[in-house]
Amino acid sequence: MITSTASVAVDTPIPSRRQARIARGVILGSGLVVLALLAWVHLGLGALLFPHASGPARQVATAGTLRVTLLADSGEMLVGDHNTISLAVDDATGKVITGATVTVAADMLDMPMPVPPVDATWANGKYTAHPIFSMAGPWRLTVTITTPGQPPVHATFRVGVRWHT
């Protein structure tokens, strides 16, 4: 029995070492660019170069029949837990509401960034709270006011939060 084997020569170019290094460099460089873009978006690094406006220091909103005035006592809202806001709550006649339970919940508008809601305390004719922000960017503060014998009402405010400068 005779068997024959035929070999076929195929002209496949073998990449040079220089071409292989260029290909590895392109792959590595592309991976670093993708990683940098993910960090830019996920960590909010763009807010360092292009910070969000802090918003007005005084804002007014309605919550049912109540008028709620937000004052940024600490100035700019910054990442962390050292922010102080005051909330003046008045009824339709301008009478100050006392004895209410006031809670402030912060929600980031660009992405979910869970932070615990904070309770406001009554002192000197206003409610004071210390909201916590975990990242720079636009946030929504939802103020929930519960007065005795009434259903809870909500007022919302938009604030800009910046990194520490």
The pTM of the full predicted model, rounded to 2 decimals, is 0.70
Q: What is the pLDDT of residue 4?
A: 59
Query: Confidence band (pLDDT; 50, 70, 90) for 63?
Result: very high
From 123, 135, 128, select the one nearest 160 (Cα to Cα).
135
Query: Confidence band (pLDDT; 50, 70, 90) for 55?
Result: low
Confidence check: pLDDT of 10 > 70 = no
Q: Please give the mean pLDDT across all residues of the chain.
A: 86
Under CATH, which architecture does the 58-162 domain have? Sandwich (2.60)
Confidence check: pLDDT of 75 > 90 = no
Query: Confidence band (pLDDT; 50, 70, 90) for 64?
Result: very high
Q: What is the pLDDT of residues 84-105, one digit of tens each?
A: 999 999 999 999 999 999 999 9
CA–CA separation, 69 vs 135, rounded Å?
24
Query: Confidence band (pLDDT; 50, 70, 90) for 36?
Result: confident
Query: Confidence band (pLDDT; 50, 70, 90) for 6?
Result: low
Confidence check: pLDDT of 54 > 80 = no
The rounded percent of the chain whose pLDDT value lies above 90 is 49
3-state helix/strand/coil string of 94-148: CCECCCCEEEEEEEECCCCCCCCCEECEEECCEEEECCCECCCEEEEEEEEEECC
Q: Are 144 and 62 in contact (CB under 8 A)?
A: no
Provide the residue ranges of all domains of the chain, joining segments of one domain with +.
17-49, 58-162
Query: What is the average per-residue pLDDT within 108-136?
Result: 92
Backbone φ and ψ of 35, nearest 5°: -60, -40
